[in-house]
């Protein structure tokens, strides 16, 4: 998806959905990236939230990530397919200290593949092991993670929303891959250290589906007004 801003700079826009079992750290991960903050707990999202972050990638490639938090939606949840449809990337988050949350990634994957089967292009898939700061309690081995990723053409990531480790580079890598920008190791390292102020938090109540249709326009207006750029180049 692309658009131009007021200066005529092409803006690539991507919808990124974050899925996974409850309590794996989806909201924490998004908040860490978008607000560079970690709270011990977030109240359960009722509808769904989405956040917007603008990234300027090497080569002056301007991208906007719309990052959707599915909140309390469970596998089999009625609205889930609607949220997932049209996504450019899906991040499957599990908790490295929970074998169950890792096992359930396959069920999340089934839901996503089913929801996107009529999409022109299948979304980019990322497998994200979170809570790496709890390495001493880790039960999901790196080999299992890699195997699942390879078998399902997923890109593999390990992060800690709590410490912030590898969170920025995760989202920057996703944006770069979607935009077709190749990042050097040094650029990824820079990305890891970029911290930015952000952004806009939207709440879309499940009952108010109409507002989703108007999302795009709202995003455009609000991002111009409130966003700050995150420059990686
Ligand atoms: P969810 O949005 O997937 O449901 P949350 O998950 O972001 O609400 O996080 C669930 C719990 O895991 C929270 O703790 C949160 O603080 C914790 N958490 C999230 N990410 C990390 C991480 O990287 N490391 C550690 N150690 N904890 C993390 P509570 O205590 O509220 O259950
Ligand atoms: Mg949450």
Residues 6+ away with beta carbon under 8 Å from 133: 160, 162, 163, 165
* Best residue for ligand 1 mutational test, from 161, 163, 165 (most atoms within 8 Å of Cβ): 161
Mean pLDDT lowest for which of 64-68, 69-73, 106-110, 125-129? 69-73
The domain segmentation of the chain, as residue ranges, is 2-231
Which pLDDT belongs to residue 228?
Answer: 39
Q: Is the CB of 30 under 6 A from ligand 1?
A: no
Confidence of residue 156 (pLDDT cuts 50, 70, 90): very high
How do 201-204 and 48-57 pair as beta strands?
antiparallel
Q: Is 128 helix (H, G, I), strand (E, B) or coil?
A: strand
Mean pLDDT lowest for which of 65-79, 141-155, 199-213? 199-213
- Choices 3.40.50.1100, 3.60.15.30, 3.40.50.300, 3.40.718.10: CATH for 2-231: 3.40.50.300
Q: Is the CB of 118 under 6 A from ligand 1?
A: no
Residue 7 has pLDDT above 70, yes or no: no
Which pLDDT belongs to residue 22?
Answer: 93
Residues 6+ away with beta carbon under 8 Å from 155: 124, 125, 126, 127, 149, 173, 174, 177
DSSP type of residue 229: E
Going by alpha carbons, the residue nearest to atom 16 of ligand 1 is 40
Asked if 32 contacts 137 with a C-beta cutoff of 8 angstroms, the reply is no
Which pLDDT belongs to residue 223?
Answer: 42
Q: Is the CB of 161 under 6 A from ligand 1?
A: yes
φ, ψ at 37 (rounded to 5°):
-140, 150
* Best residue for ligand 1 mutational test, from 21, 22, 28 (most atoms within 8 Å of Cβ): 28
């Amino acid at each position: 998806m692309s658009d131009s801003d007021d200066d005529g700079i092409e803006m690539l826009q991507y919808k990124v959905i974050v899925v996974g079992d409850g309590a794996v750290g989806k909201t924490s991960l998004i908040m860490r990236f978008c607000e560079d903050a970690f709270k011990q707990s977030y109240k359960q999202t009722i509808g769904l939230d989405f956040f917007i972050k603008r990234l300027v990638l090497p080569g002056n490639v301007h991208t906007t990530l719309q990052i959707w938090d599915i909140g309390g939606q469970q596998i089999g949840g009625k609205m889930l397919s609607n949220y997932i449809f049209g996504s450019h990337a899906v991040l499957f988050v599990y908790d490295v200290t929970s074998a169950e949350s890792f096992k359930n990634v396959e069920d999340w994957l089934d839901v996503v593949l089913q929801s996107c089967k009529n999409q022109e292009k299948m979304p980019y898939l990322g497998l994200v092991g979170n809570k790496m700061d709890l390495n001493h309690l880790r039960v999901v081995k790196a080999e299992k993670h890699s195997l699942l990723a390879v078998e399902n053409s997923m890109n593999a990531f390990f992060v800690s929303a709590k410490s912030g480790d590898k969170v920025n580079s995760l989202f920057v890598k996703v944006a770069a891959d979607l935009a077709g920008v190749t990042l050097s190791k040094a650029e990824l390292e820079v990305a890891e250290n970029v911290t930015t102020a952000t952004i806009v938090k939207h709440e879309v109540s499940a009952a108010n589906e109409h507002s989703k249709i108007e999302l795009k326009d709202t995003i455009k207006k609000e991002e111009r007004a409130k966003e700050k750029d995150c420059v990686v180049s």
